[in-house]
Amino acid sequence: MQKITVYEKPTCTTCRKVSKALTEAGIDFEKVNYYIEPFSKKKLNELLKKMNMKPAELLRKNDDAYKKLKGKIEKLSEDEILSLMIENPDLVQRPIVEVGNKAILARPPEKLKELFE
């Protein structure tokens, strides 16, 4: 089986549910806390392509960081939003699960099934 990587924030409830589901299924995976090991612009862009998403679609719109920057974000290009997400990881929806040439936003955790179909 291909390597599975979960990009997460360990204190996030959804991230913990995804980790638990993978562990209970006996699936070996690597966790990356993107607050400790930040995304490079290249890596986040690569994940977005694998998920078939634009940066604006990956924004955590319920987060305080987004609410404070909303007026600014609405005027930015997708590339500028991507840069802002790199600077401020609170803006990135999580967890992102990557397997080979596929990736998903595992929100809700049941979306994990899409990777193994």
Catalytic residue numbers read: 12
Q: Is 115 exposed, middle or buried (0-12, 13-18, 19+ CB in 10 A)?
A: middle
Between CA 87 and CA 16 the distance in angstroms is 24
